[in-house]
Structure 1
């Protein structure tokens, strides 16, 4: 059972300089997320460098996360495998080792038809009992989950949420108008995070939250409390940072931001490499400017007492 709402960080995977999992820094980051008030932890997404992780490493990350969160929030693992068979195996193993939910991408190496995509998602959903969030990102993955496709997918009771990353925030409303509470809608694009929440998104699968958890959760809580102007002031400060998420080097960018806030390292796994030259200086400039002007946050965990 997952309550699909709030901020759920798509966390980065921490590596040592020897290219091993850095579970010490990973724990430090996850604890920072929990302290900020996030509602779930999503492992092994694009930001988590899923394509470079072994099955064993994914299992270690699930078990480590479960130990850290101690049941406070659900641990969700991303499914982005090369075949339906492999996706089912990873999903079933995730359930076996204790993951509480799945986020599932469409087929990753083949531009499937609508029928093939629905069949793929259903096959995974029917192989486990875990609650599932479908990831809808046609910009990056070239496959769109349409309203009609979602109608079919909701025949599977454990498909319960969608990460809406089409860049069209009116899709939040379209999905809600069509399916009501049967489908929870999350925004998946950092630079449309606040806008999507204002029009009614249930939650935010976020990226820069990896480095700035409190600011991200504060925006969510302020919007949900109707305190739009206060949320907007934080969001205006945040936007140059959030733009680091909509970039092919988003992993390197966000890891640099994690270094600045003391809850991560710069180590990425090849073929990714740390940023170089002018682009590195540009990103560091954005982060440095943000750190110098970091906002003082309201007591966003107790907004009722402030209203």
Structure 2
């Protein structure tokens, strides 16, 4: 499938049953809610998807199930987060075989690779697959930055097409645009900077709280792109306390609690994660409950 890197692309959670198996029934409920809200793609196997805990057969089931659910309407993107180049190439091969139409890709995990090693890693995978690739640039959490000079080299590979921009430096969007024009598509990867990023020229938003609030997330993106800034700002201000649940070490637990509150998910996580406890659980639930209580009307788009 040919597609543009734009609009809202949810980094969806993986749903588990009480017996710690894939809950494909609840997963389908959530994916259908995303499609109905007008998202532009589905991203599987990210941090929110608890990818490091998934077995290969589970990844296969998730991709194949999602491809069936979207029925060709929107692309299915698989995240790659591996420790070795060999495993990253195999993950890309499997994603393509199972039906994914794009890849999101982190630098090597655990080892802090040099600039040269990082570029070699991305290029090896890019040359091994026909799928388009979005580089996930998150030096805050993963300690490796893909600089603009590095992108200059990486973009010689036609299928490296986009960046999930998570440097937390809003001015980086302007630098990317000034240097590469539209050759490198930009998707904001930080929920609490998403509206600002789109205003500064980002093409879209790889979102987290969209997992629980798809209509509101899509509305912000579409309203900004339509120049209806005041309407977008009103929703974004309502959304901010919820969006802050995404920039937290327990973002998976937080967002799954929000999915429960909106009826499109369960709280089940996979060990070693555990559901939130005590005062922190009470704090998160109070934010979610207030967000649900004051949920805004969505204007006609």
TM class, shorter-length: over 0.9
Q: Secondary structure at the match of 1:182?
A: coil
Note the alpha carbon deviations across 1:16-55, whole angstroms, 9 max, x for none: 0100000000000000000000000000000000000011
Q: Secondary structure at the match of 2:47?
A: coil
The answer to whether the aligner puts 1:257 opposite 2:258 as a matched pair is yes
Aligned to 1:201: 202
Shift of 1:173: 1.1
Aligned to 1:94: 95
The answer to whether the aligner puts 1:280 opposite 2:256 as a matched pair is no
Runs of 4+ in 1 over 4 A off after TM superposition: none
Aligned to 2:227: 226
Q: CA RMSD in A?
A: 0.5
Q: Normalising to structure 1: TM-score of the pair?
A: 0.97
Q: In 2, distance between residues paired with 1:260 and 1:293?
A: 13
The answer to whether the aligner puts 1:241 opposite 2:242 as a matched pair is yes
Note the alpha carbon deviations across 1:253-273, whole angstroms, 9 max, x for none: 000000000000000000000
Contact 1:7 1:220 in 2 (8 A): yes
Note the alpha carbon deviations across 1:187-209, whole angstroms, 9 max, x for none: 00000010001111000000000
Aligned to 1:137: 138
Q: In 2, distance between residues paired with 1:2 and 1:131?
A: 9
Shift of 1:81: 1.1
Q: Secondary structure at the match of 1:295?
A: coil
Q: In 1, distance between residues paired with 2:18 and 2:36?
A: 27
Note the alpha carbon deviations across 1:216-250, whole angstroms, 9 max, x for none: 00000000000001000000000000000000000
Q: In 2, distance between residues paired with 1:107 and 1:235?
A: 34
Equivalent positions of 1:90-239 (< 5 A) are: 90-239=91-240
Q: In 2, distance between residues paired with 1:106 and 1:208?
A: 24
Q: In 1, distance between residues paired with 2:38 and 2:81?
A: 27
Shift of 1:103: 0.1
Aligned to 1:16: 17
Aligned to 1:85: 86
Q: Secondary structure at the match of 1:204?
A: strand
Q: Normalising to structure 2: TM-score of the pair?
A: 0.99
Note the alpha carbon deviations across 1:246-300, whole angstroms, 9 max, x for none: 0000000000000000000000000000000000000000000111100011012
Q: In 2, distance between residues paired with 1:174 and 1:74?
A: 28
Contact 1:55 1:90 in 2 (8 A): no
Gaps of 5+ in 2: none
Shift of 1:180: 0.8
Shift of 1:97: 1.5
Note the alpha carbon deviations across 1:102-160, whole angstroms, 9 max, x for none: 00000111000000000000011110000000000000000001000001100110000
Q: Secondary structure at the match of 1:121?
A: helix
How many residues are paired up?
A: 300
The answer to whether the aligner puts 1:290 opposite 2:291 as a matched pair is yes
Shift of 1:82: 1.6
